[in-house]
């Protein structure tokens, strides 16, 4: 069997074209994310939480590179009673780019309250979403829902 010498250049051209397509898609998505009005993202977040019976407010909301949002002075309250549920000093969510390429999108979450931190990840899926959180050095007195309920620990 003879090797076809023209096969190598064809394969390398296909790889170059595929790389250009992936890079173009990433550049388009990055541009679209950073050009998209931030108030629309804020409105979508608020609408989604209102549908779940909660109201959220931000002191500030900003984009982070490459695909993330970061908020300061985040307050989550119960929509019916107006009672505070959670007050965060900062909260950030960032899409893991490589997870999208693996077709398993994952959003990293990080928040601070008091002297502690909450970290985790959110994975949306066709059969439901998964949220894994871990807290470190979070004091019970820093959780507004417990304080509002009169729980003194």
> What does the pLDDT average to over 4-9?
62
d(CA 77, CA 148): 11
In which band, very low, low, confident or very high, does the pLDDT at 148 lie, cut at 50, 70 and 90? low
pLDDT at 2 over 70: no
Q: Using CA atoms, how far apart are residues 102 and 41, in angstroms rounded to an integer?
A: 25
- Alpha carbon distance 12, 18 (integer Å): 10
């Amino acid at each position: 069997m003879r090797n076809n010498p023209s096969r190598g250049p064809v394969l390398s051209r296909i790889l170059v074209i595929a790389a250009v397509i992936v890079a173009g898609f990433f550049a388009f998505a990055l541009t679209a994310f950073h050009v998209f009005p931030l108030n629309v993202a804020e409105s979508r977040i608020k609408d989604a939480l209102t549908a779940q019976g909660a109201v959220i407010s931000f002191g500030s909301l900003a984009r982070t590179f490459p695909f993330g949002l970061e908020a300061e002075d985040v307050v989550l309250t119960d929509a019916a009673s107006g009672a505070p549920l959670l007050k965060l000093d900062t909260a950030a969510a960032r899409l893991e780019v490589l997870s999208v390429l693996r077709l398993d999108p994952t959003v990293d979450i990080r928040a601070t309250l008091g002297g502690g931190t909450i970290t985790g990840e959110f994975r949306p899926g066709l059969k439901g979403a998964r949220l894994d959180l871990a807290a470190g050095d979070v004091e019970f007195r820093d959780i507004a829902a417990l304080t509002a309920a009169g729980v003194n620990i």
